[in-house]
């Protein structure tokens, strides 16, 4: 983990503890890159902590048990569109391009 990531996670920890100190009734949700700082005392005030590294490893582990999970999750995230966006053929174009690219890779 580089210094900028470590500093940003330290800042998130300080922000979350400050918010919880001044408004104890406010739920605090935090997103971290690694779980290095997750178990510190300052993070105890957070209701939910999303650790990107843990999520990534959980998805990879699930892929070992259920093949194709990573592909499904990746397709869901990459094809997500807000309700007011219009372009129904974009998903189909993206899906066909990715399936064509993956067939060439093998």
Provide the residue ranges of all domains of the chain, joining segments of one domain with +: 1-67, 68-106
The Cα–Cα gap between 7 and 18 comes to 16
> pLDDT band at residue 106, thresholds of 50, 70 and 90?
very low
- Contact between residue 50 and residue 28 where contact means Cβ atoms under 8 Å apart: no
pLDDT at 32: 84
- Contact between residue 5 and residue 33 where contact means Cβ atoms under 8 Å apart: yes
- Contact between residue 94 and residue 77 where contact means Cβ atoms under 8 Å apart: no
Whether this prediction's pTM lies above 0.85 is answered by no
| Mean pLDDT value of segment 37-60 | 81
The Cα–Cα gap between 103 and 92 comes to 16
Whose tokens are 């330290």? That residue is 10
**DSSP tally for the chain: helices H, then strands E:** 4, 2
């Amino acid at each position: 983990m580089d210094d900028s990531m470590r500093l940003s996670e330290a800042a998130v920890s300080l922000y979350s503890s400050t918010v919880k100190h001044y408004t104890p009734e406010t739920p605090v949700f935090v997103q971290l890159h690694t779980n290095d700082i997750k178990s510190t005392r300052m993070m105890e005030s957070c209701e939910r902590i999303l650790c990107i590294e843990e999520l990534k490893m959980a998805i990879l582990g699930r892929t070992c048990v259920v093949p194709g999970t990573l592909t499904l999750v990746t397709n869901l995230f990459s094809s997500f569109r807000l309700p007011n966006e219009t372009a129904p053929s974009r998903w189909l174009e993206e899906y066909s391009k990715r399936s064509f690219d993956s067939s060439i890779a093998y």
